[in-house]
Amino acid sequence: MRRRTLLGLIGAALSPLPALAARAAAAIRPPATPRRPVRIEQLGRVRIDDFAWLKPANWKDVWRDARALDPEIRAYLGREDAYCRQVLAPAAPIKARLLAAMKARLGPDAEGPPLVDGPWAYLTRFDAGARQPRWLRRPAGGGPETLLVDLQARARGHAYFNAENAAHSPDHGLFAWAEDVTGAEKYAIVLKDLASGELIEGPREAYGDFAFSADGTWLFWTWRDAASRPARVYRRRARGGPDILVHEEKDPGFLLHVAPSNSGRWLFLKSWNDVTSEVRLVDARAPETAPVLVEPRTPGHLYSLEHWGERFVVLTNADGAVDFKLMTAPQASPGREQWREWRAHQPGRTIIDMRAFAGAFLRVERVEGNPTLVITRDPAPGGADTPVAFDEAAYVVALQPSPYDGGAVTVTYESPRRPRTWLSVDLASGARTALARTPLPAALGPERYVLKRLHARAADGAEIPVTVLHRQGLTLDGRAPLMLTGYGAYGYSYETAYSIPNLALVDQGWVWAVAHVRGGSEKGRDWFEQARRLNKKVSFTDFIACAEALIAGGYTAKGRIAAHGYSAGGLLVGASANLRPDLWGAVIGQAPFVDMLNTMSDATHPLVPLTRPVWGDPLSDPAAYDYIASYSPYENVAAATYPPVLATTAIADDRVGFWEPAKWIAALRARAKGGPMLLSVEMSGGHGGGGRLAELALAAKMYGFAIWAVGREL
């Protein structure tokens, strides 16, 4: 009966035809978007921006407080959201059934085993129906649990709430977390004295990351400037006191971050962007000493450190190590002149993470998008490695907090069809032991699904990985609708994790696929370099090649593909839609980066100096201007028939301003045919987050739109 109920929820959300979508939309008129042309002259080039007025002059104030938004723009966004809801009213039952199907998969508890650190075990727990967890602790040997914080209770009364980086102090006297109640990612750090139960108001305007000194008496934290850039690290007495500046990153092209070594011996202050980094050290046992620079920044040189015994291990791309190598340096003098090669560069095996333990060193290598753990116990250059591999076609492995003095590391393992499992990996043998599994009804187990890794051939011969998930028994005759997503930017690999929304969609006869296009790092750092600056269009043609390969393989058909992209993935699908509007059945831009030329031409935007090494600088480089102008989605909407388009945004999003998708939708309506073109606006919230139920609700909205637009049956 349980099986029939779950599958009934999932199967019920079927199958309006695209024609119904078109007829429903045609009966409702979209809001009028005034054209107020602004002439922009730049590097001898002139462009006219008809919808520039949608970006408020006080946009930085709006990011800090949405109430500062100009009333005219607020009213316009309200009309757009109302129009979106009107047009999608026939899809409301689909959305509701999708959301019910997603919630049916949540189970009673999706959290893992406790973190045992010395005398205490720390754990999280979700109450039934809660969108935020409770943090608790108990004695390591067993005993009663003590509530540390109930984040669900702290979320009450807030339209948006997100908490990050919960952690205890090394002396177990304090518990701290960072919380955001607007969505603008400006966190307040809250601490709790675990002896008295007193809450201590910590720093505000924080980036969210923080670290304790070795004795737990000092708190180091990162401050965000008025442009939302993490720019300074301060320290203060953890139980209250003035903030003391530790280091300021003055170059607007760099971010600043603070993190402890796994040993707890050192604090790392890292300045970085996507192509260059620089690290300073603070002795966690002497927290009032000045930070020490390890190696001055050199354009193109990326490096980071981990502390192991009496040495540092340095992850670096120096000397042409595109996919990184490991070097060691003495703890007393870690400058580059002391670096000695320990693990050589292996092209195509990108080292993406590392963690030190008293008796072993662990690194994570990525090949074809999938990670492998490699354990080394011998610090000598020729010491043996113990690899720990996994057997799914596509999966994610992530290191979890694990004590430095322990004999095992805790990792999570999941795949698009297999929910999260917590594993203990023995650091001597590599043997794995399951500690906890995400509860899952038997009727919805991984054996119901097929997971594949395919390859699509690009025009230049490159083999583009494609992850594919579909239901067992699905006939691959080209009739199935398909959701194709991707990212392809900043060297980030698309993580093929377990997703309740994706499985709910697949249960309706859809295929879900990821195009691992160039611009990410699935096939190594060079995979990013091949689509950087004046080569960015490679990402878009890769995406189209993946769609065509899936059509040729019988997974779907032309006009049956919903293209989805989040953030910079919105650039991917927006540009791909302009290149081949005929290929798609729907386009979804989730907080999409689509007004690229105008944004990259605004030197006051906090992300612009940071991302110039990735995209180029249209303010100073004519070649960069011309190239970005040739693909930026907003400027390149074609006079052609487009499928239905949905863009989502939130007013407090300080990464991709709400005006980008608003202008894009306006341009699509003005220049293209087809549609409808829809803008969904959240008056609270930011670029992401908000708790697991809020994320499911957004996915149900987007996937319900796709079903409504594309339909299930030919």
Mean pLDDT along residues 631-635? 98
Q: What is the pLDDT of residue 109?
A: 54
Q: Is the CB of residue 498 less than 8 Å from the CB of residue 417?
A: yes
**pLDDT at 110 exceeding the cut of 60:** no
Based on the fold, state whether residues 97 and 115 are members of the same structural domain: no
In a domain, 196, yes or no: yes
Strand locations in 657-702, DSSP E? 673-674, 677-682
Q: What is the pLDDT of residue 228?
A: 81
Helix, strand or coil, per DSSP, at residue 110: coil
Q: CATH number for the domain including 466?
A: 3.40.50.1820
Sort strands 511-515 and 482-486 into parallel, antiparallel or unpaired.
Answer: parallel
In a domain, 387, yes or no: no
Based on the fold, state whether residues 158 and 89 are members of the same structural domain: no
Q: Which helix (H) or strand (E) holds 629?
A: helix 622-629
Task: State the amino acid at position 488 in one-letter form.
Answer: G
Based on the fold, state whether residues 201 and 303 are members of the same structural domain: yes
Q: What is the pLDDT of residue 107?
A: 64
Q: Is the CB of residue 665 less than 8 Å from the CB of residue 639?
A: no
Burial classification of residue 12, based on how many CB atoms lie within 10 Å of its CB (0-12 exposed, 13-18 middle, 19 or more buried) = middle
Residue 428: pLDDT band (50, 70, 90) is: very high
**pLDDT tens profile 450-482:** 999 999 999 999 999 999 999 999 999 999 999
Neighbours of 317 (CB within 10 A): 20
Based on the fold, state whether residues 93 and 130 are members of the same structural domain: no
Q: What residue spans of 59-106 are helical by DSSP H?
A: 59-64, 71-87, 92-106
**Domain end call among 382, 417, 451:** 382
Q: What is the pLDDT of residue 503?
A: 95
Q: Is the CB of residue 693 less than 8 Å from the CB of residue 79?
A: no
Percent of the chain whose pLDDT exceeds 70: 94
Residue 552: pLDDT band (50, 70, 90) is: very high
**In whole angstroms, what is the distance from residue 75 CA to residue 31 CA?**
11
Q: Which of 437, 413, 435 is nearest to 424 (CA)?
A: 435
Percent of the chain whose pLDDT exceeds 90: 83
Tell me the Ramachandran region of residue 118: left when phi exceeds 0, alpha when psi lies from -120 to 50, beta otherwise.
left
Neighbours of 417 (CB within 10 A): 27
Q: What is the pLDDT of residue 270?
A: 98
The whole domain housing 148 covers 111-360+371-382
Taking all residues of the chain, what is their mean pLDDT, rounded to a whole number? 92
**pLDDT at 214 exceeding the cut of 80:** yes
CB within 8 Å of 175: residues ≥ 6 apart = 135, 137, 148, 149, 166, 167, 168, 169, 191, 192, 194
**pLDDT at 368 exceeding the cut of 50:** yes
Mean pLDDT along residues 210-216? 97
CB within 8 Å of 337: residues ≥ 6 apart = none
Mean pLDDT along residues 245-255? 96
Q: What is the pLDDT of residue 499?
A: 94
Helices 659-671, 71-87: crossing angle, 10 deg rounding: 60
Q: What is the pLDDT of residue 689?
A: 60
- Of the spans 436-445, 568-577, 684-693, which averages the highest pLDDT? 568-577
Q: What is the pLDDT of residue 243?
A: 97
Based on the fold, state whether residues 146 and 97 are members of the same structural domain: no
What are the backbone dihedrals phi and psi of residue 470, each rounded to the nearest 5 degrees, phi first?
-150, 170
Record the tokens describing residue 426, joined without a space.
């023995």
Residue 691: pLDDT band (50, 70, 90) is: low
Based on the fold, state whether residues 131 and 91 are members of the same structural domain: no
**pLDDT at 444 exceeding the cut of 90:** no
Q: Which of 124, 195, 110 is nearest to 166 (CA)?
A: 124
Q: What is the pLDDT of residue 354?
A: 97
Based on the fold, state whether residues 99 and 154 are members of the same structural domain: no
Helix, strand or coil, per DSSP, at residue 194: coil
In a domain, 73, yes or no: yes
Q: CATH number for the domain including 284?
A: 2.130.10.120
Q: What is the pLDDT of residue 8?
A: 36
In a domain, 431, yes or no: no
Record the tokens describing residue 360, joined without a space.
């072993």
Neighbours of 543 (CB within 10 A): 32
Mean pLDDT along residues 640-661? 94
Record the tokens describing residue 433, joined without a space.
């032991």
**pLDDT at 22 exceeding the cut of 70:** no
Based on the fold, state whether residues 85 and 127 are members of the same structural domain: no
Based on the fold, state whether residues 67 and 191 are members of the same structural domain: no
Q: What is the pLDDT of residue 186?
A: 84
**Rounded-to-10 torsion of CA 9, 10, 12, 13:** 120
- CA 460 to chain centroid, in Å, comes to 29
In a domain, 688, yes or no: yes
**In whole angstroms, what is the distance from residue 175 CA to residue 364 CA?**
29
Residue 120: pLDDT band (50, 70, 90) is: very high
Q: Roughly how many angstroms between the first and final C-alpha of the chain, as a whole number?
A: 31
Record the tokens describing residue 411, joined without a space.
């990792």
Q: What is the pLDDT of residue 10?
A: 36
In a domain, 434, yes or no: no
Q: What is the pLDDT of residue 26?
A: 64
Q: Is the CB of residue 410 less than 8 Å from the CB of residue 426?
A: no
Q: Which helix (H) or strand (E) holds 647?
A: strand 645-650
* Least trusted range by pLDDT, from 24-28, 232-236, 286-290, 380-384: 24-28
Based on the fold, state whether residues 246 and 154 are members of the same structural domain: yes
* Cα–Cα distance list, 564 to 287, 465, 545, 634, 637 (Å): 46, 17, 15, 17, 17
* Least trusted range by pLDDT, from 382-391, 560-569, 585-594: 382-391
Q: What is the pLDDT of residue 329?
A: 97
**pLDDT tens profile 318-334:** 999 999 999 999 999 99
**Domain end call among 350, 382, 414:** 382
Record the tokens describing residue 283, joined without a space.
């002795």
Residue 20: pLDDT band (50, 70, 90) is: low
Residue 344: pLDDT band (50, 70, 90) is: very high
Q: Is the CB of residue 291 less than 8 Å from the CB of residue 280?
A: yes
DSSP per-residue string spanning 209-261: EEEE-TTSSEEEEEEE-TTS-EEEEEEEETTS---EEEEE---TT-EEEEEE-
Q: Which of 167, 128, 364, 141 is nearest to 264 (CA)?
A: 167
Strand locations in 120-217, DSSP E? 120-125, 134-139, 146-150, 162-168, 174-180, 188-193, 199-201, 206-212
Based on the fold, state whether residues 468 and 548 are members of the same structural domain: yes
**pLDDT at 18 exceeding the cut of 90:** no
Q: What is the pLDDT of residue 24?
A: 56
Q: Is the CB of residue 610 less than 8 Å from the CB of residue 599?
A: no
Q: What is the pLDDT of residue 62?
A: 87
Based on the fold, state whether residues 96 and 236 are members of the same structural domain: no
**In whole angstroms, what is the distance from residue 711 CA to residue 714 CA?**
8
In a domain, 366, yes or no: no
Domain count, the chain: 2
DSSP per-residue string spanning 559-612: T-EEEEEETHHHHHHHHHHHH-GGG-SEEEEES----HHHHHT-TTSTHHHHHH
**Rounded-to-10 torsion of CA 700, 705, 708, 710:** -120
**pLDDT at 11 exceeding the cut of 50:** no
In a domain, 308, yes or no: yes
Better pLDDT: 81 or 11: 81
**pLDDT at 583 exceeding the cut of 90:** yes
